[in-house]
Structure 1
Amino acid sequence: MDSNCSLCQNRGIIIDADSQLAVPCQCIKQKAVWNRFKQAKLTLRMLNQTFENFNFGYYAKDCFDPVKNISYYESAQIAFQAAKNFTRDFMKNNKIDGLLFSGQVGSGKTFLACCIANALIKENQAVLFSVVPDLLDQIRFTYDSSRQVEYSEQDLVETARQVPLLVLDDLGAHNYTEWAQNKLYSILNYRLNNYLPTVITTNISLAELEQYLGARSTSRIIQMCNPYRLLVDMDIRIVIRKKQSVF
């Protein structure tokens, strides 16, 4: 983000033309928003993943969910509306049920979770976006005395427990050790008991979650999140790459 402001020359205030009073410059608000995005751990690519940029064109109208017997397009519409409704309702009352977006790799789950995070951050809401394997690695790093880290295991776990909205991305088919299962359970159980919503994305079905996470965490997720499924006939990332290679 550009650190040089042509309006205030980085002083942070400008003189209002009408009142002739000193008022905060627009850049202060922009920097505050940018800092909230950084604190949420959203990457640069994720910043463009908004409701306005969600593309229903990737979801086929002639392919059908064998379980619900609705088209991939209709499933995407339902999940999209659920995400928008969640964002709206969170602004009114942040003690609401979370969301679970499931679907194969490249079906738009993370994009939809980012839509929620970006919309709420712009409204000054506290959000932590955490990729599950990365979060577990960060916790493990705190055990290594040879590494210099600015945070402790308690800092990481307590932040994930207590942040008003936690997004757990890629809670997928990984080889979760008993240690990893216990860490995730600790976070999920705290959030459930304190009515703190969580948005989760996973590439495994709700029925398969217990195999990877264990019964305790799976039970909490079922209790705290409303499930939605995104389906595509081809990985969206591959579709985008093929389109780019044509030009």
Structure 2
Amino acid sequence: MEEIANIIQQKVMIHTAGLDLQCKICSNCGTPIEHVITFNGVPRKVATNCKCRAEAYKKKLADEANQERLRKIEKLKVCSLMDEGFRKCTFENWEHTKESEWLYNIGLKYCENWKQAKEKNQGMLLHGVPGTGKSYLSFCIANYLIDQFVPVIATSSINIINKIYEGYGRNGELGELEIINLIQEASLLILDDLGAEHSGRSGKEKQIIYSILDARIRAKKPMIITTNLNVQQLKEKLTGSDGVARSFDRIVEACQPLEVIGTSRRIKKAADNQRCFKQLIS
């Protein structure tokens, strides 16, 4: 009888406890800040995040992620061409002409579909004569994505090579490895004016370029490359002493070649300046 009485008393206590477990409600959003769980048959109240606290925590994590991306972007500027002039290259500042409209549309579509491009490691090889807007387009893409907190580095092969050579006197080969690793941190690499580098130092430049391209492709991180050479000229420029075009093969593996044609903006500007000067001195 005593055992039965104890069981009945426990059931009454549990039932009574359950009646007292009314969860508190957030005065701000009106959702519970507590909920009831059952442990060993006994209901208990435990704290939980209400809707507004959960959203605030989610926002905090997003802000921290964005700050980390911004720190990466600042770090990437060490090896970049991202100066004041670079920041002026935006789609908002685009000079719309019949010749340039198709290029504008390609760049904007690439940015709008960036997540898909990143997932599939889709890049571009923009080639054509100087002054047709290849660099400007690539920098517009870079600035658009940077404003979306995407880590981007925009640099040139010459700049990378010079930075590495500068480091030899201080850190030796370790400096080279650090620079290449830093470049690989970017979600998108803009490699401007490829092929303008000279071919000295027993092919060292070609080795550096190949290391960068190979690392990017292995990491499945996209690149946008610009060059003033045509496709065949670029292939010949990047071919090693053994006759194998390793770097070029890496480029076409991940970058869609697009020939940028049109009137050179630099030549047009030079002609405008010449007319202004003649008017000045006449």
Query: How far is 1:241 from its partner?
Result: 4.7
What is the 5 A alignment of 1:40-189? 40=77, 41=80, 42-57=82-97, 73=99, 76-91=100-115, 94-95=118-119, 96-145=121-170, 152-177=175-200, 178-189=203-214
Query: How far is 1:176 from its partner?
Result: 2.6
Distance 1:107 1:172 in 2: 17
The 3 A distance-change label for structure 1 pair 122 and 194 is same
Query: How far is 1:117 from its partner?
Result: 0.4
Residue in 1 that maps onto 2:260: 230
Letter in 2 for 1:154: L
Distance 1:36 1:191 in 2: 17
The 3 A distance-change label for structure 1 pair 237 and 97 is same
The 3 A distance-change label for structure 1 pair 156 and 137 is same
* Runs of 4+ in structure 1 over 6 Å off: 32-35
> Higher relative CO (CA 8 A, sep ≥ 6), structure 1 or 2?
1
Query: How far is 1:219 from its partner?
Result: 0.4
> Unaligned stretches of 5+ in structure 1?
1-28, 62-72
Residue in 2 that maps onto 1:218: 248
Query: How far is 1:90 from its partner?
Result: 1.6
Residue in 1 that maps onto 2:47: none
> Which of the pair has more CA radius of gyration?
2
State percent identity of aligned pairs. 26
> Unaligned stretches of 5+ in structure 2?
1-65, 240-244
Letter in 2 for 1:46: F
The 3 A distance-change label for structure 1 pair 55 and 196 is same
TM-superposition CA deviations, 1:189-214 (whole Å, max 9, x none) = 11112210001000001122121112
Tell me which moved more, 218-227 or 88-97: 88-97
Q: CA RMSD in A?
A: 3.0
Query: How far is 1:130 from its partner?
Result: 0.9
Distance 2:72 2:215 in 1: 27
Residue in 2 that maps onto 1:197: 222
TM-score scaled by length of structure 1: 0.70
Distance 1:35 1:191 in 2: 17
Give SS of 2:92's match.
helix
Letter in 1 for 2:255: C
Letter in 2 for 1:83: G
Distance 2:213 2:273 in 1: 40
Distance 1:106 1:175 in 2: 21
Distance 1:34 1:182 in 2: 29
Query: How far is 1:34 from its partner?
Result: 11
The answer as to whether partners of 2:183 and 2:189 remain within 8 angstroms in 1 is yes
The 3 A distance-change label for structure 1 pair 176 and 78 is farther
Letter in 1 for 2:113: D
Letter in 2 for 1:176: S
